[in-house]
Amino acid sequence: MPTSPVTLEPKQVDFLYWHGVSKMRMADFEGANTLFRLLHAACPERTDTALGRVYCLVRLGELEAASSVVAALRRHPLRPDEMALLGRLHRRCEFERARSAARQRLGAGAGAEPGMVDAGLREPVAMPHTLGDDEMARRSAERG
C-alpha cells in the first residue's frame, strides 16, 4: 500500500518550526532535529528548517550528516543572511571535526581531563580571548 507524502498547512508548518526553535533553545537538539527533518521533507523550499537541522546535527555530533545538509544547501539560492549563517555553521562543523580528530590524536578519550591538551599535562589550558582576562593575555604573549 503506497503512502502519500506529508502535507502540512502553513499554520502547522509555522507552529512546528517555532516548536523546533523552542526545543533548540532548551538544548533538546534531538527533538528539534526530528521536527526540522520532518519540516524539511514536507517543505524543501524552506531553507530555515534545513539550517535549523544543520545546527542540531552539529550539536549532536553528527558531523557527516551536517556536512551533507550544508552541501545540499549550497546548491540552492539563499538570502544573504541565510548564506552567512550557513557559512558559520559550516565553519563550526569543520572546527568540531578538527577538534574531534585532535582529541583522537592526543588520546584525550583515554582518561584526559577536559581542558587538558595531553594526558601528561596537568595544567589547564586557558584561552585569554575567551576568558576576557587581560593579565592572562599579557602573560601568554610574554611566554610566546
Average pLDDT over residues 93-121: 68
pLDDT of residue 141: 46
pLDDT in tens, 12-47: 999 999 999 999 999 999 999 999 999 999 998 889
Which band of pLDDT confidence, cut at 50, 70 and 90, is reported for residue 108?
low
The dotted CATH code for 10-106 is 1.25.40.10
Return left, alpha or beta for 27; rule: phi > 0 is left, psi -120 to 50 is alpha, else beta. left
pLDDT of residue 130: 40
Residue 109 in this model has a pLDDT that exceeds 70: no
The domain locations on the chain are 10-106, 116-144
Per the CB < 8 A criterion, the answer to whether 52 and 28 are in contact is: no
